[in-house]
Amino acid sequence: MKIFLALLFLVLAAHAQQERIAIINTVDSNDSISVSDLNFLTDRLRGIAVDILPQQRYGIMTQESIVAFLGSQERAAKECQEASCLADLGRRINADYIAQGRIGRFGRNLTIKVELYSSKSANLLGSFDGYSEDLYDLLYIINAKTPEMFRRLSDGTVDNTPEAVPLVPERRTVTAHEPTPAPTPKIIPTNEHGAFYFSVFKPSITSEYNRKNQKIKREGLSVMGGLEIMDDISQFGGGLFIGGGSLGDDIGEFILGLSIKRLHWVFKNWVALPVSLDFAWRAQFMNIENFLVAEFMSIIEPKFLTESAEYLNRDRSITKHNFDIMPAIDLQFFIDKHFSLYGGYMYRLALSGDWGFFYKIPGRNYEQHSSGSYFKVPSEYDPLLNAKERVFGIPGTLRFGMKIHFI
């Protein structure tokens, strides 16, 4: 009889010293993950706690015991979702420690943060977080980092500083009770990502040519390529681009510029409306017959007429420099995490210079590498006088492109 009482006393003493740990339901701040998936992650946290913590010292509260303290399953779900202070909730359910996982968003990725608090002191005893593109890698983060958090509690080495962890731990062999994960997607380790992009636009320009008193319409085709960097939190970004093309059969263009951009999501991770403001230097060049140049050069520089007939029958290159301000709006479709297509409308406000060329006046001495004297082309010889760019009768042009996204 005395032996039985002694054993009973030891059992009761052991249970009296056991500390209760509540791991409440994992919540999703965006309500985009199913309840069954959230419950699985919660059960995984509880299962790891049972495996790591010594049972003679710690007891893991079941979901049923947590519900019993809060009154109903609905009340428990509401309390877990709205709990702003886990320590306060822990005291209400008579738990010594309380932990919870929370899932959020970071750019186009899922995030997870798990925290462990002392109910009595409200101190943060341990935590970890990570980033992933799917639930499988969130599960790997839990499997890899939860044991250390509970092990530090058991060893008494907890502190208030969250452990610095890799975003996604190294994969390991999957045990029988874990689902087989999909292949590892590439994870974005910072809040920025980049993209190479290529776009095509087809300007349609109507201009005047005073020398022949006529209007000329030129159809063009330009191609641009660039690099942009976007911030996944603010959705602001920018980049550089370079390109060129033709305008009609006689005018070529070279473009160099920078872009400022803001991304607006229509359907998260699928469809977006990028709004951009581009600034570009655009050089245009074309050939003009020397005999046309002779018409105005005979007044500006009479020595031009001393050139040979063969020279006057040849062409010369003239150039024009423009500063473009180009607001644009596109509709962008994300095919997957590495590829997207877009198309939209671009308006171009061009601050244009004059057409001009260099000419070495006969009899004048020039430095060895000099191109000669610079001469402007009079407006009546300007092939793009009063140029207007329109699409369907509206100022601007359409553009289409693709982006290759990288980490």
The residue assigned the tokens 């974005």 is 188
39: amino acid identity, one letter: N
Nearest of 390, 356, 355, 395 to residue 372 by alpha carbon:
356
- Calculate the CA dihedral of residues 197, 202, 208, 211 and round it to 10 degrees: 90
Q: Which of 156-160, 214-218, 254-258, 277-281 has the lowest mean pLDDT?
A: 156-160
Nearest of 230, 235, 149, 137 to residue 185 by alpha carbon:
137
Long-range CB contact pairs, 360-369, < 8 A, 24+: 361/301, 361/303, 361/304, 362/303, 362/306, 362/307, 363/303
d(C-alpha 79, C-alpha 25), whole Å: 10
Domains of the chain by residue range: 11-155, 192-406
286: amino acid identity, one letter: M
Phi, psi of 390 (to 5 degrees): -140, 150
Q: Which of 4-18, 106-120, 308-322, 377-391 has the lowest mean pLDDT?
A: 4-18
Q: Which of 96-105, 131-140, 156-165, 188-197 has the lowest mean pLDDT?
A: 156-165
What pLDDT, on the 0 to 100 scale, is given for residue 82? 57
d(C-alpha 120, C-alpha 80), whole Å: 18
180: amino acid identity, one letter: T
Nearest of 383, 108, 113 to residue 271 by alpha carbon:
108
CATH code for the part of the protein at 192-406: 2.40.160.20
- DSSP 8-state secondary structure symbol assigned to residue 361: -
Count, in order, helices (H) and strands (E) of the chain: 8, 20
d(C-alpha 162, C-alpha 159), whole Å: 8
d(C-alpha 283, C-alpha 243), whole Å: 11
pLDDT digits (tens, 9 = 90+) for 271-288: 999 999 999 999 999 998
d(C-alpha 126, C-alpha 113), whole Å: 11
pLDDT digits (tens, 9 = 90+) for 34-82: 888 888 998 999 999 898 888 888 888 888 888 777 766 566 556 665 5
324: amino acid identity, one letter: D
Instruction: Report residue 89 as tokens.
Output: 């909730």
State the angle between helix axes of 135-155 and 35-52 in degrees (0 to 180), rounded to the nearest 10: 30
Beta bridge partners of 251: 247, 286
What average pLDDT does range 164-188 have in this prediction?
44
Total Cβ atoms within 10 A of residue 215: 11
Instruction: Report residue 381 as tokens.
Output: 């010889």
- Contact residues for 166 (Cβ-Cβ < 8 A; gap 6+): 130
What pLDDT, on the 0 to 100 scale, is given for residue 17? 65
pLDDT digits (tens, 9 = 90+) for 228-249: 998 877 789 999 999 999 988 8
CATH architecture of 11-155: 3-Layer(aba) Sandwich (3.40)
Three-state DSSP state, 395 = strand
Beta bridge partners of 244: 223, 254
Query: Residue 20 — very low, low, confident or very high, per pLDDT cuts 50/70/90?
Result: confident
